[in-house]
Structure 1
């Protein structure tokens, strides 16, 4: 067998860059003019994202971002979405949601190192893709830096984030190896026609029966979110017989909050409508979000409940979701503007993400729930809110207040507060530390509540290995979150 060592070495380099956070695999092939591309069928026109325009309250602040992102969206959506547009049929509706025409065959083997048509990519294509990715990400980074300007808070936070990542790198490398090389991980499954409409699947080893499914929306301050951030959670839950679908979505400045909610809703629709195709139980689907992802997922869920209560045309039913898990989320965005500003997410950029100050109530689940009808609230599944009491990124009072509001309006709510835990303790440090993780156990207890056999297996499940040692304590002190 002839081995293309050049191509293999290039793919290994790309993976290392991804692990280091320099590249995003979901954006590969975004600038096809840097590498030979397959001829596109005449009918498969690139799908364009609408140009971003500044909100009335942030006049002029988004213009540079909008111009840069129009070019970036044309390149990335044309290369990725256009090549696969024929796999979808439009369904109409206010969000333009789409779904595949038939069942989705899921290939559980790793997909890295393959071109868009499934063939093994060449050395020249790998180099072109790496160059295209570097070009696109660098352009977006400079656009965002120009928009942020020189500010002590966000620069100090960025430096702390880099040091934090270096300290936890031994654990990240182990998780990254699992992400790229495990046969239980199916990466970059297409769920829509936008450039970030991809999700990763974490499949349990036991295929003897259909498994519960968790649709997970990752965090990232609405700016740096990426589906691979859910790899550790996906691994932990898959080890306990639960399928996890980590949904990617457009971040700012590639999109604003409406785009993020639309992407998340379309990803949830894909999971609900295709659960059986990858071994999932359609009667056991759960929705989970962390940090900004918890906010986005809550907005999508409430929006869907309101539409359903009004009899509007929908693409997935709230009744398909058995429970919503909100981890360290912010649910009253109006009250968090000043808090985020003090922590380096400046008011101007945050208001641009949220489409202006007048839109804050609309994108605040707490306020939205107060104004929603009793019928819409009654459609909501069980709401499980989870928060660390020493969370400085988003105070735990955000979850406590939402729990009170939902209880007053007739919602079914559980609140778990983790004493002394920070924003990243419950999601990163605790799982990396190994052993039984309180948050993971609480999630599993809800999912397996009606399955006696699964609860017996949980009691006998092996203890997760420790991935990071002494560095965790130091990383916890340095964490910018």
Structure 2
């Protein structure tokens, strides 16, 4: 039986790189594709191993950090059945185009999650993963990509440098280049460059907000305009770093390490403070902003989104805020969708549907609950040990 696989657009690469970018021919076998993807995974594991050694040195292996790390390992082990199913989808599904190079840095790679039956000018979500600016990775968006793409939304998940490989300005630079790549190339995947929504979670929401502000404050140095975006969706974002320092310290992220991540400029890298300095003509360039936060978030208080919404509204931006009662920092993007209860992604689909232009392919008005990926008992236990 012959195999039919989805074609991947050719991607041109420039500059010296740590490894070769993925340049697949238009006709390839799933076996060949899988071997290439596994090679990329192996390269990432080696990179993570080297960076982990640097992290251990940076954190000086404090008892608090070790305790949080053990909790994270336990959390991962409890949800391993679900993570393995998601990894299987990410690795083998022909709709997932992996490791497409968007820039010259080693981690300037992104994944594209295609819809099952793509038409012209499909809506696009660019998802910026969280991970405390330290453990973020593009594959963390596989669960969101799996769900949203099944409902007709192309999902792009760019990777970006993490600490200690890079500082926050490096992360912002990477995401700026990735967004510019999406605007210039998403049509090759049947995506609509005039119907792009940025979604960020936790550190990804923080970076995304800074990227928007940089694009407004320095338009001549940014290769895209935020006014082209349909929406910005921030999930559980730490928008005022000064207010979050002690919480992060209690979770094992030392104050000095956090300051180093922020390039020793906490105030400049706090979106809440930056918005107050925007001129009225600048705030009009902001897209529609939607902020989501769980009221039981122990890592980043829901007050972070509340304060950010207040200063945005005062600046004249269009802001919508929704709080999820009794939801933690990761419930909306990990535990809930794993259990088949997905209010956040339903809200994201609704936002994209309602903001899409009239010519855009119509998204469903109602969604069905996704399949449960893990037994309830394991998810309940994971919630107890969750370090976030």
TM normalised by structure 1 equals 0.72
How far does residue 425 in structure 1 lie from its aligned partner after superposition? 0.5
In structure 2, relative to structure 1, the CA distance for the partners of 1:135 and 1:179 (3 Å cut) is closer
Which residue is equivalent to 1:398?
A: 304
- Please point out which of 182, 186, 193 is paired with 2:104: 193
1:305-454 counterparts in 2 under 5 A?
Answer: 305-308=216-219, 312-356=220-264, 359-435=265-341, 437-449=342-354
Q: Per the alignment, in what secondary structure is the counterpart of residue 233 of structure 2?
A: strand
User: Could you list the runs of 5+ residues in structure 2 that have no partner in the other structure?
Assistant: 1-13
How far does residue 464 in structure 1 lie from its aligned partner after superposition? 1.2
Greater Cα offset, 201-210 or 255-264: 201-210
How far does residue 140 in structure 1 lie from its aligned partner after superposition? 2.2
Which residue is equivalent to 2:11?
A: none
User: Cα deviations across residues 429-458 of structure 1 (Å, max 9, x unaligned)?
Assistant: 0000114x1111111111101568966733
Which residue is equivalent to 1:12?
A: none
Contact 2:161 2:174 in 1 (8 A): yes
Distance in 2 separating the partners of 1:160 and 1:466: 23
In structure 2, relative to structure 1, the CA distance for the partners of 1:129 and 1:230 (3 Å cut) is closer
- Please point out which of 76, 80, 88 is paired with 1:177: 88
In structure 2, relative to structure 1, the CA distance for the partners of 1:334 and 1:107 (3 Å cut) is farther
Does 2:139 align with 1:217? no
Does 2:36 align with 1:114? yes
Distance in 2 separating the partners of 1:237 and 1:107: 27
1:182-331 counterparts in 2 under 5 A?
Answer: 182-308=93-219, 312-331=220-239
1:24-173 counterparts in 2 under 5 A?
Answer: 46=16, 77=17, 79-80=18-19, 83=20, 111-114=33-36, 130=42, 136-173=47-84
In structure 2, relative to structure 1, the CA distance for the partners of 1:107 and 1:306 (3 Å cut) is farther
How far does residue 313 in structure 1 lie from its aligned partner after superposition? 4.4
User: Cα deviations across residues 275-328 of structure 1 (Å, max 9, x unaligned)?
Assistant: 2111101221111100000000110011101223xxx24311112211000000
Does 2:384 align with 1:477? yes
Q: Per the alignment, in what secondary structure is the counterpart of residue 335 of structure 2?
A: helix
TM normalised by structure 2 equals 0.89
How far does residue 129 in structure 1 lie from its aligned partner after superposition? 9.1
User: Cα deviations across residues 164-222 of structure 1 (Å, max 9, x unaligned)?
Assistant: 11111111111111000101101111100000000111100122332100111100000
Where relative contact order (Cα < 8 A, 6+ residues apart) is larger, the structure is 2
Alpha-carbon RMSD across the aligned residues, in angstroms, is 2.6
Which residue is equivalent to 2:3?
A: none
User: Cα deviations across residues 343-362 of structure 1 (Å, max 9, x unaligned)?
Assistant: 11001111111111xx1111
Distance in 1 separating the partners of 2:198 and 2:312: 17
Q: Per the alignment, in what secondary structure is the counterpart of residue 36 of structure 2?
A: coil
Contact 1:202 1:234 in 2 (8 A): yes
Distance in 2 separating the partners of 1:379 and 1:106: 39
Contact 1:212 1:285 in 2 (8 A): yes
Which residue is equivalent to 2:364?
A: 457
- Which is greater in Rg? 1
Distance in 1 separating the partners of 2:27 and 2:203: 30
Distance in 2 separating the partners of 1:378 and 1:129: 42
1:7-22 counterparts in 2 under 5 A?
Answer: none
Distance in 2 separating the partners of 1:382 and 1:105: 39
In structure 2, relative to structure 1, the CA distance for the partners of 1:136 and 1:303 (3 Å cut) is closer
Q: Per the alignment, in what secondary structure is the counterpart of residue 457 of structure 1?
A: coil
User: Cα deviations across residues 89-118 of structure 1 (Å, max 9, x unaligned)?
Assistant: xxxxxxxxxxxxxxx999998644239xxx
Q: Per the alignment, in what secondary structure is the counterpart of residue 384 of structure 1?
A: strand
Aligned residues between the structures: 371
User: Cα deviations across residues 372-395 of structure 1 (Å, max 9, x unaligned)?
Assistant: 211111110001000000001111
Contact 2:353 2:363 in 1 (8 A): no
Distance in 1 separating the partners of 2:387 and 2:320: 28
Q: Per the alignment, in what secondary structure is the counterpart of residue 215 of structure 1?
A: strand
